[in-house]
Structure 1
Amino acid sequence: MTRWLRRSAKGNPEGRMSVLDHLRELRKRLIVVMIIVALGAVVGWLVYNPLLTILKQPYCNVPYEHRLGALNQSAEQCKLLFRAPLDGFTIRLKVSVVAGAILTSPLWLYQLWAFVTPGLRRNERRWTVAFVAASTALFAAGMGLAYFTLYKGLDVLITQAGSGTQAGLDVTYYISFVILMLTVFGASFELPLLIVMLNAARVLPYSLLKRGQRIGIFLIFLFAGVATPSTDPFTMTAMAVPMCLLFELAVLWCFLHDRRRARREAAAEAEQLPDDVASTVDPLPERLSGPGRRQGSEWSELP
């Protein structure tokens, strides 16, 4: 795989390809991503039990009187239910695949970056490490915020049903809900990185961001209200406010980057004048130093 990537980069350093070549390149990248995620899913299958304990902890944080007590569970016990025979296998497979995708995210994110970089300049391709590190950190931060929101918010959501009710959550629906929350929060935190990538590729300049800044903030709140599975104001605000802060930081970065790029391009244009443009030359010659220099209108005698 590494030899193929190096050979492709060496044979086509500028990354110029036709539409069909782009589609073939995308297909190869997707195949590599699927293999990487499949290998990560094997690791997720092996560590499924610790992962399940972490995922069900927000439900276990709910007071015991609001959890299903018909199974004669003690206050320390916390178990989820499943009804269909295939639910156990299905939920383990789903958790394993999602865990594999998260564990191997630096690898397949590099594949995504490698597909985009042929459209960038050579000095901009050096951002690979920064892109992979930033995307992984942002996704992890989004998942951490989602887990904290679930840990604090699930108790509020379940107890709203009243003191005479108990929550007997099905493991399939509950784990799907938790995974969806973690994925949506993690993916939403990639918004500033997407803006930075588009700006680096000269697709989204700062001037366009400045004009649509208010609309962008409105769309963030609209996206948070639609994307959050729980649809409660607390979860929507917990997603929208950090996204707005990250969006503003991305806009600031684009402003600084575009200004630095404009200065660099202006300096390059000044050094490389066209043939039909006259160079700036000093019309007055410099005075000669040493013997034979001109003083006023007379030439001094040589010694």
Structure 2
Amino acid sequence: MTQDASQDTFISHLIELRTRLLRAVGTMLGVFVILFLYPGPSAIYDVLAQPMLASLPEGTRMIATGVITPFMVPVKVTLLAAFVISLPVVLYQAWAFIAPGLYRHEQRLALPLIISSTLLFLAGMAFCYFVVFRTVFSFIAGFAPQSITPAPDIEAYVSFVITMFIAFGVTFEVPVVVVLLVKTGMVTVQKLREARGYVIVGAFVIAAVVTPPDVLSQFMLATPLCLLYEVGILIGKMIEKKQPAEDSEDDAGGEVATRD
């Protein structure tokens, strides 16, 4: 391949990457506009604030210390909701960009990967919202002295919530990562089993960094991470058994390299 041809290929890839990014961002902004109009940022924020409000003394509200905070914080929450709703499209655009360089059986992973990644990320956020927040907030509120009336700042609360959502959403993606590593041949199930001890230690280190400084929340993040790692190993074991037949199919059928 000549230098000019290589440069043209590189530029075409950059153009396609830009197109995929614009589609993903455009979808997210479209969803944001819809949510902004209905049900509105305030209503979405009120739902997000329920776990904290439920742990506060009756009649206590959260506070806003900034001048524009009452407007900006609900807008941030609406952006987060728009991203979550748009996640299938974002994942599809990412997959569509890399799919032409993959074998046929790897390309057939597209739909299962997009669906499972989306569902697992949402499951992580749901677990965080319905279980972790209510447990941790009640636990922390129980340690507050009677002479103190908690009144959390809404900006700090949203920053904390977003961090926790991302942490648990990414944690629940562990089975997908493990399956991809096995599917692409980067690691074997045996290697994953041998790394189990390091994963457990790493899980608690990560939990200690991204969660509040209490043992309960750290345990509630590290435990699902370890369990989901084991789930990924089980699925990877089943994939390894099917791998030789799929490799033979790729050798006979060649590699597909078509782009949208």
Number of paired residues?
Answer: 242
- Give unpaired runs (5+ residues) of structure 1: 1-16, 65-74, 272-303
> Cα deviation per residue 1:137-176 (whole Å; 9 max; x = unaligned)?
1111111111121112102213313111111111111122
Q: Which amino acid aligns with 2:54?
A: N
Q: Which amino acid aligns with 1:41?
A: F
Number of the residue aligned with 2:122:
140
Number of the residue aligned with 1:206:
189
Bigger shift: residues 91-100 or 111-120 = 111-120
Please list, as runs of the form range in 1=range in 2, the aligned pairs for 1:34-45 lying within 5 A after superposition.
34-45=25-36
Q: Do 1:43 and 1:96's aligned partners in 2 also have CA atoms closer than 8 Å?
A: no
Hey, what's the Cα distance between the residues in 2 that align with 1:123 and 1:268? 8
Q: Which of 57, 60, 67 matches 2:50? A: 57
Determine which structure has the larger helix proportion and give its number.
2
Hey, what's the Cα distance between the residues in 1 that align with 2:217 and 2:42? 27
Q: Do 1:57 and 1:151's aligned partners in 2 also have CA atoms closer than 8 Å?
A: no
Number of the residue aligned with 1:116:
98
Bigger shift: residues 242-251 or 199-208 = 199-208
Shift of 1:207: 3.9
Q: Which of 129, 141, 160 matches 1:177? A: 160
Q: Supply the RMSD in Å over aligned alpha carbons.
A: 2.4
Bigger shift: residues 153-162 or 24-33 = 24-33
Please list, as runs of the form range in 1=range in 2, the aligned pairs for 1:142-291 lying within 5 A after superposition.
142-147=124-129, 148-228=131-211, 230-263=212-245, 265=247
Hey, what's the Cα distance between the residues in 1 that align with 2:219 and 2:159? 22
Q: Which amino acid aligns with 1:253?
A: I
Q: Do 2:60 and 2:151's aligned partners in 1 also have CA atoms closer than 8 Å?
A: no
> Cα deviation per residue 1:63-82 (whole Å; 9 max; x = unaligned)?
52xxxxxxxxxx3x453211
Q: Structure 1 residues 202 and 135, CA, compared in 2 at 3 Å: closer, same or farther? A: same
SS of match in other structure, 1:186: helix
Q: Structure 1 residues 242 and 167, CA, compared in 2 at 3 Å: closer, same or farther? A: same
Q: Do 2:124 and 2:171's aligned partners in 1 also have CA atoms closer than 8 Å?
A: yes
Hey, what's the Cα distance between the residues in 2 that align with 1:26 and 1:198? 24
* Ranges of 4+ aligned residues in structure 1 off by more than 4 Å: 17-24, 263-269
What percentage of aligned pairs have identical amino acids?
Answer: 27
- Give unpaired runs (5+ residues) of structure 2: 1-7, 253-260
Q: Which amino acid aligns with 1:178?
A: V
Q: Structure 1 residues 203 and 184, CA, compared in 2 at 3 Å: closer, same or farther? A: same
Hey, what's the Cα distance between the residues in 1 that align with 2:246 and 2:108? 17
SS of match in other structure, 1:123: helix
Q: TM-score, normalised by structure 1?
A: 0.72
Hey, what's the Cα distance between the residues in 2 that align with 1:117 and 1:193? 16
Q: Do 1:44 and 1:95's aligned partners in 2 also have CA atoms closer than 8 Å?
A: no
Hey, what's the Cα distance between the residues in 2 that align with 1:191 and 1:268? 27
Shift of 1:227: 1.8
Larger CA Rg, structure 1 vs 2: 1
Q: Which amino acid aligns with 1:204?
A: V
Q: Structure 1 residues 145 and 127, CA, compared in 2 at 3 Å: closer, same or farther? A: same
Number of the residue aligned with 1:281:
none
Shift of 1:191: 1.8
Hey, what's the Cα distance between the residues in 2 that align with 1:234 and 1:242? 13
Shift of 1:266: 6.8
Number of the residue aligned with 1:29:
20
| Larger relative contact order (Cα-Cα within 8 Å, sequence gap ≥ 6) | 2
Hey, what's the Cα distance between the residues in 1 that align with 2:21 and 2:180? 20
> Cα deviation per residue 1:199-240 (whole Å; 9 max; x = unaligned)?
323333334323322212221222122122x13211111111
Q: Do 2:42 and 2:74's aligned partners in 1 also have CA atoms closer than 8 Å?
A: no
